[in-house]
Amino acid sequence: MAPVRLRHPGGVATIQIDFASATVQDLLVEVQKVTQILPSQQQFKAGYPPHALTIIPELPLDSLGLQPGEQLIVSASPGASAQPAFTPTPAPAAVAPPVAAPLQRAGAVASPSGGPDAIEVDGSYLIHRIVPDDNSCLFSSVALIFEQGISKASHVRQIVAEEIRADPITWDDAILGRPRDDYISTILKPNTWGGAIELSILAKHYCTEIASVDVETGRIDHFTPPPDRDTGNRCIVVYSGIHYDAATLAPMIDAPDDFHQTVVPVQSQSEEEDSVLGAAKKLADKLRAKRAYTNTSTFDLKCQDCGQGLKGEKEARAHASQTGHVNFGEY
């Protein structure tokens, strides 16, 4: 464990972090305990002169370039308010948990019988586009958005592999969590999960921001392309803890797939000011009320390659790194 000094709206504090094994998400949790700012609302600056840090919760802590004893400047995103450090146990599935105050231009609508969930926004509908639960869901969702069909998921994997192969400086062994050649060969397998690394690469390749909305927390993570490649557009993916789906705009709930708009202009980085982001948050609220998510820190997994039982995504990633096994199933 090593100290990290925090300068935050309430004063100055020191937290202890295991730099060898912690993720960015672990840092966010520790900061919340001290500042009572929710992880989704935390903003960080470090260095001199202070510069903003890009927060990707799934990456190792060293992706931020922090050193033990370094000072972090913590603030809340505009419009955020302090929250209790620990949230109450969610209500039973039969009772919908509280949701955010409704936006002026986005509202939940009843889904057709057996149809996908949808949120009305600016006269259109943000539709939950469900892809197969086959360990290739992230790549299928991105293929649906940018390649007009989930059949191109393997092509999306190739894009990721080629970028990692071409840029050994950005995507070194430390960031990937395993030898680069091993990571490349593994990500090309059709049963390997994708996550924050893949979304970062794909945002750059398609020159489009990928906004990932987390069903359990309502947090939106923004994976943005480099400024010189940014087209000013955005797409939406929905993350349930162990699964990714897409969300696209349609002129009516039952519009054919060809009528869906998969990429939209960025209005703002704030869900209060961007109607599509606001609709994505409300879609997450709707799915959360159905308990359509999995807590990745506590769910039980089984390695399909060797049969070992595992708890949570952290153990699964460690097991994959140690053994090369990538086939996991939820108990």
For 197, the 3-state DSSP assignment is helix
* Catalytic residue (choose from 8, 128, 137, 303): 137
Which tokens is 315 given?
């153990």
Has 325 been annotated as catalytic? yes
How big is the CA angle at 106 (ends 102 and 108), to the nearest 5 degrees?
A: 80
Has 306 been annotated as catalytic? no
Residue 155 contacts residue 147 (beta carbons within 8 Å): yes
Has 205 been annotated as catalytic? no
Has 222 been annotated as catalytic? no
* Catalytic residue (choose from 8, 128, 243, 260): 243
Give CA–CA dist 41/28, Å, rounded: 10
* Nearest alpha carbon to residue 262 among 225, 232, 236, 231: 236
* Catalytic residue (choose from 62, 207, 305, 325): 325
For 10, the 3-state DSSP assignment is coil
Residue 300 contacts residue 330 (beta carbons within 8 Å): yes
* Nearest alpha carbon to residue 216 among 153, 152, 160, 298: 298
- List, by residue number, the catalytic residues: 134, 137, 243, 325
